[in-house]
Amino acid sequence: MHTQTHQARTKTYHHGDLHNSLILKGLEMLNDRGLSAISLREIARNIGVGHNAPYRHFKNKQQLLEAIASMGFRRLKAYNLRLELEYANDPETQLFESAMHLINMANDEPNLFNLMFGGNVSLFDCGDELKKESQASMQSFIKILSQGQKQDVFNQDNLICQTLATMSLIYGFAMMTSSGMLQEIPKTPDQMRGFTLQVFDILLTGLKKT
């Protein structure tokens, strides 16, 4: 069901692609039931494999969660890469669409978003894979803002500070709209987009005026 390679195989003693199946089924169950409701054993059960099989692919439960989070970061990176090509000379649009995508993700897959950014996997004490992927996020923002500075779309203030302000606002806004901290936020995608645009405008003013 999850991957073609898996489905194509006949039922054998060996699963064939358990590593990826665990990540995908884990993500599916994470989105459905939330972090506190999923267990390694149930994921294994849902895949149809013994409760110890996952330990051949992940040292422990935490490492599977890290792998799921890594996949989330990789998805973000892939989307940002598309934006980079689609709006090659328009850093402002790149920034906004990237923000919009993160906000949509926070609202469509809040449990994945919280896993990635809510401290449930430590970005300090985690495997190299997740470390690399999470820090690549920042690089992509630096890249966009740097391009914006070169094109004089943004002012020439400290690049790192601009990056931090931008990411902070985007991640914070995503968190707030998905966390339930706000009562009055409109819920249709169009309204959300309009709202985000207004909030984003305040940041842009700060990035532009010198």
Partner DNA sequence: TGTATATGTGGACGCTGTCCACATGACTCA
Partner DNA sequence: TGAGTCATGTGGACAGCGTCCACATATACA
Cα 161 to Cα 99, 140, 148, 165, 167, distances in angstroms: 17, 15, 14, 6, 10
Q: Which is nearer to a second copy, 18 or 105 (CB)?
A: 105
Interface residues toward DNA, by CB under 7 A: 12-16, 18, 38-42, 44, 49-53, 55-57, 60-62
Cα 46 to Cα 22, 41, 49, 64, distances in angstroms: 10, 9, 8, 15
Q: Which is nearer to a second copy, 96 or 173 (CB)?
A: 173
The distance of closest approach from Cβ of residue 36 to a second copy in the complex, given in angstroms and rounded to an integer, is 8
Q: Which is nearer to a second copy, 21 or 134 (CB)?
A: 134
The distance of closest approach from Cβ of residue 5 to a second copy in the complex, given in angstroms and rounded to an integer, is 33
- Backbone φ and ψ for 109, nearest 5 degrees, come out as -130, 65
Cα atoms in the 13 Å half-sphere on the side-chain side of 41: 1
Q: Which is nearer to DNA, 40 or 100 (CB)?
A: 40
The distance of closest approach from Cβ of residue 150 to a second copy in the complex, given in angstroms and rounded to an integer, is 19
Q: Which is nearer to a second copy, 6 or 131 (CB)?
A: 131
The distance of closest approach from Cβ of residue 74 to a second copy in the complex, given in angstroms and rounded to an integer, is 15
CB 102 within 8 A of CB 75: no
168 binds, among a second copy, DNA, none (CB under 5 to 8 A by kind): a second copy
Count the Cβ atoms, other than its own, within 10 Å of residue 144: 25
The distance of closest approach from Cβ of residue 120 to DNA in the complex, given in angstroms and rounded to an integer, is 13
Q: Which is nearer to DNA, 51 or 208 (CB)?
A: 51
Residue type, 114: N
The distance of closest approach from Cβ of residue 177 to a second copy in the complex, given in angstroms and rounded to an integer, is 9
Interface residues toward a second copy, by CB under 8 A: 35-36, 110-111, 113-114, 117-120, 122-124, 134-135, 137-138, 157-158, 160-162, 164-165, 167-173, 175-176, 178-184, 195, 198-199, 201-207, 209
Cα 145 to Cα 22, 32, 119, 173, distances in angstroms: 37, 36, 27, 19
Continuous segment of H or E residues that includes residue 88: none
Count the Cβ atoms, other than its own, within 10 Å of residue 65: 22
Find the largest Cα–Cα distance for the chain.
66
